[in-house]
Amino acid sequence: MHADQTKGNITIIGAGIIGLCSAYYLTKAGFKVTLLEQGDLVDNCSSGNAGMIVPSHFVPLAAPGMISKGIKWMFNSKSPFYVKPSLNPKLISWGLKFWKHANQKHVDHAAEPLRDLHLLSKQLYDELAQEPDLDFGLEKKGILMLYKTQAAAEEEIHLALKAQSLGLDVAVLNAGAAQKLEPDTALDVLGAIHYRCDAHLSPSTLVKQLISNLKNKGVEIITNCKVNGFETQNAKITEIHTTHGTFKSDLTVMTGGAWLPELAQKAGLTIPVMPGKGYSFMVESLS
């Protein structure tokens, strides 16, 4: 479709993986897309993560037992669930919603939609990998969940059986079978669950290649561009005020990640999302 035949102008705020993929599919559908990014595209969560595609993750974070764990973790700055304690009304409101949904009924209700969402995501990554200029190390070897104690084994096997009942490709392995899958690493484990339905990719490679792909298709990506506010009319955003001037848009897509609640608030929206603590470790490359 030629530029003068586009369906409309869409502005996407946030150039992480969600913003980039949104731009990819909207451009493919014939829209003229502009991407606004408050950073410089290089040091963000979308580039620095494990790159896992996980149909196995069908249990929501809000689940039975998470309240007691979460309260302990919230006050431990080294935990995977650290949120800086405060009397912030937004944090309190989010915490109450989390508490309300931390039950088995919510877990059961969410299992199939989460499975389907992840399976669709995996399918779309498969399709992206067919693009001539996209080669982001997609591997379909699955993911291993290792365990060292009998208590952990019972918990993981219970979850594996649930995954199998949802139609996912999962295998329960003893220590020997798990070791065969990792011949270059000495595993001190009792066993493992092999979620063969899972996959992984190189996130930093994908982000860089998507940026290049979009630029080649005429998508304008404006970096170091902070949104200051919006003009709205009839509950619709008509103008976006930024440090790079004002942008008019037929449709605005917000993909601001951890900044989404703050961004949405400027448009009069309340979105119950709270940023969490990220963590990582570095290893030397074998190549």
Give me the chain's average pLDDT, please. Answer: 89
13 has pLDDT over 60: yes
pLDDT value, residue 167: 97
Q: Exposed, middle or buried, 193 (CB in 10 Å: 0-12/13-18/19+)?
A: buried
Distance CA 146, CA 126 (A): 27
236's torsion region: left (phi>0), alpha (psi -120 to 50) or beta? beta
CA distances from 285 to 19, 89, 144, 157 (A): 29, 44, 21, 33
Q: Please report which confidence band the pLDDT of residue 2 belongs to, taking 50, 70 and 90 as the band edges.
A: very low
CATH class of residue range 3-48+204-265:
alpha beta
Q: Please report which confidence band the pLDDT of residue 16 belongs to, taking 50, 70 and 90 as the band edges.
A: very high
Angle in degrees, CA 95, 91, 227, rounded to 5: 135
pLDDT tens figures, 206-237: 999 999 999 999 999 999 999 999 999 988 99
Evaluate whether 64 touches 107 at the Cβ level (below 8 Å). Answer: yes
pLDDT value, residue 45: 83
Distance CA 41, CA 56 (A): 29
The amino acid at residue 23 is: A
Evaluate whether 198 touches 51 at the Cβ level (below 8 Å). Answer: no
Can you give the residue ranges of every domain in the chain? 3-48+204-265, 52-64+103-201
Other Cβ atoms less than 10 A from the Cβ of 212: the count is 12
